[in-house]
Structure 1
Amino acid sequence: MDVSLIIPTYNEKDNIHPLVERIHRAMGSLGIAYEIWFVDDSTDDTVAVLRDLERADPAVHVFHREHERGLASAVVRGFERAKGRFLVVMDADLQHPPELLPAIYERLSSGIDVVIPSRFVEGGSDGGLGPMRKLISWTARIIGQLALHRLRKISDCTSGFFGLRRDVIEGVELNPIGWKILIEVLVKGHYRSVHEIAYEFLARDFGESKMSLKEQWNYFRHLVRLVSQSPKDRRFFLFCLIGLSGVVVNETVLTILWYGLHLRDTVASVVASCVAMLNNYIWNDRVTWRSESSGRGWGRKLPVFVGISLVGVAMTTLVMRFCERFGVPVPIGQALGIVVSTVWSYWMNSRVTWRNIERESRQEGIVVTRESVQEALVRAKTGV
């Protein structure tokens, strides 16, 4: 089997026949073996429509679920049943054009690992979404790209339309929450190349959108889980938490020295800051950048860490003073300075203080290429 199409469905009875007809027209020109797997969670007559079609069309297969729900988990069940060398996921609502399937197949057969039709490559469009859905979609993409480093080069990481080679997910445990299975694949999968093809996301003709507040909440839960499972992605968050613990240590030591031991305020402040920096260094060495060498190399790493921390303190003050000139209240300017210095300190420590750990964990370079919708259609027709 060359290609397996995996289509999750939930109450899409009016879209099934038009979708399958368009798939057959698109795939028929390729002269390859393909199958269509509908993984159905419907509560209306969709399953009856699918069963009738399955009996009449040997390419169509149906797996109806009674006790499980969710778009992403439906795709995983489709992966488990599919027999194709290449796997293509798309929605049943006709917002994903089947006419791009030959282009996706051509890119996969040429050796590309993951192919993603994108609304945000030149020539693409998300015109099928209303203003509020566009805002939600944009926010979800930005948050995902900020949280997970493997998403940062992908223009449409929340797409539900994509193709991949089977070995991308071979041996990978996929356990997504909610509706964004592509993010799970991009974070956990084994791949070196991603190709994005521009496409126009169409308005749906029948049925209703499945987007809800519950699905949005599941998306955030999904991101948190993926960050927690990725050492590289969780380091920044650990660095921030340890920084907050340093503030608590600083204030505690200052209080003891000033009020308890009656040291001069300047001396108490300096000692408290030094203890807090040592606290931060130890936790970052043992937790954030944990390795077999943790606890060693203090003579080199600790002075560098302290130097970077001191520069960070100076940056915080400079940002606060700069903001103050423009009438920004000091507390707000200080907060902005802390954000800037935290990002800078993390970046510097990852590349200088613990550079060996970062080098060991750095992923192999993933190549991302893109093409416009015009180029995709021309290549699909010519087979070039």
Structure 2
Amino acid sequence: MRYEFCIIGGGIVGLATARALLRARPGASLVVLEKEAALGLHQTGRNSGVIHSGIYYAPGSLKALLCAEGMLRTKQYCRSHGIAFEERGKLIVATSPLEVERLAKLEARASINGIAAEALSPADIAKHEPDIVGLRGLLVPSAAIVDYKQVLEALAQDIRQAGAEIRFGVAPTSIREEAGGVTIDTSDGSVQAGQLVACAGLQSDRVARLAGLDIDFAIVPFRGEYYRLAPRRDNLVRAMIYPVPDPGLPFLGIHLTPIIDGGISVGPNAVLGLAREGYVKGQFSLGDMAEMARFPGFWRTLGNNLGSGLEEMANSLLRRRYLAACRKYCPGLEIEDLTPMPAGIRAQAVKRDGTMVQDFLFIEAGRMLHVCNAPSPAATSALPIGERIAKRVLSPEHAPA
């Protein structure tokens, strides 16, 4: 089968890219290859459901630029497709003098990034959120919540209506670029395409190697464990409540997030995943762990983040420690308030020197473009990411000979 475009990966970035390509090239033949039997089984369907504002990200970075645009575009897309979202706002709460200093830097960054934010005193915090305490707060009114699975399904409907095909249960086994295009051998036969975009998430490094790319990174999975507050706490907060993040870590810390269909989630923490797709606690893959152990960057990352890693592991093993992290800003929570909720896995690209890739990472090679790192806020930013990828794929230097 021959297509003009092939997308590997049916997550939100993959489908947003497919939509952008079809809008730029109406009538083009396009296929999405998704190895699972349904959409949204990995990162897209296992996140906090937040439409981020972009307050955290370094000015000028792709994260900052794409998130600011993505927030507006995601809300616009939801309105046009009848998808519910709620602008609850995000309240970042400092609970120590060090966090107050860090919060002041975040406030300055918000100003640089053009994000409206309001500094709150302890009394202001109590006025906005009576059950939350802190030495200082920063309220970002534009942050919102949504069900990204609904956004994903809408994108799938869009691209199908534009003539695209989504094939489920199809995983690539080899990829080779040839004179006339790219051949993707799969678990269900071969696919030929003029150009390939790989948005493979947790498998992005493996797919890049299948394509013969010489890469200097590997995906290290971090398991994010969530709880859901007991029903009696469903109205505990209106806004999303976040701690002040540690600038040395790529994760935002354990937060309280209202869920669009009701209730409040708590989390995630960030512990090393023992399997790339190990959503069940304790799930272990010998193959995945052996592959990580052979990669020098894995050990360097562990060494660089040993203290925080041990703390996250302790929070995972001991629910009371997890609770203690929440009670810094929400002291009224009790242990019985934390009820089980499905976990997620973050695909974190790590370089050979142990550095965690903080921004989006794209690798272009001939007729291929690989999305190798798409961390949060990738879901928020998916529409502009897709358009950026489509623009690169359709640029003259990528045009088939």
TM-score by length of 1: 0.26
Higher helix share: 1
Task: Answer with 1 or 2: which has the greater Rg.
Answer: 1
Structure number with the bigger relative contact order (C-alpha 8 A, sep ≥ 6) is 2
Which of the two has greater strand per residue?
A: 2
